[in-house]
Structure 1
């Protein structure tokens, strides 16, 4: 499995991969379903960016384990794919909840 250890020399590369993956996942997620307003776009992008940055490592390790490709990927590759996947999934949850709230969130009476 890919090593995401505490090697001080690898930390800048892992952080760069984490941020790049989170940014890519958040950007791609906005293309799939265009936001209705700038506010919605900003909130979805920032949510995707933060979730991708926070949950990129665990998500990448989970994906590598599920797919059985740990021997073929390096630590930054695992972090990049994990951050992008976590960012994309966070956007979908927020996007679906925003659409449901807009549809059914009106006051009755």
Structure 2
């Protein structure tokens, strides 16, 4: 089995931090801030990250939005998974040029 590229690992960790925060509040806030900053500088995925990653700089801000936006853990997980899908697909397909899809069209705000 091949080792996933570092970018996939970073995306998974960021996604998992958001899911943890949205479902039980057990996420590492400093790790979220670090990964968010790193991925927002990454040309391959920065424009494909969900709007809420661009908008909310820390997990407290994200929680303030998600807790009122969706009422159940399942809905929150589904929203986060679907919102990250374009970024994962770009990395998995090896896209390195400009990306024309807009993540905000895929994730409700």
Larger Rg: 1
Structure number with higher helix proportion: 1
Give the TM-score of the pair, scaled to structure 1: 0.30
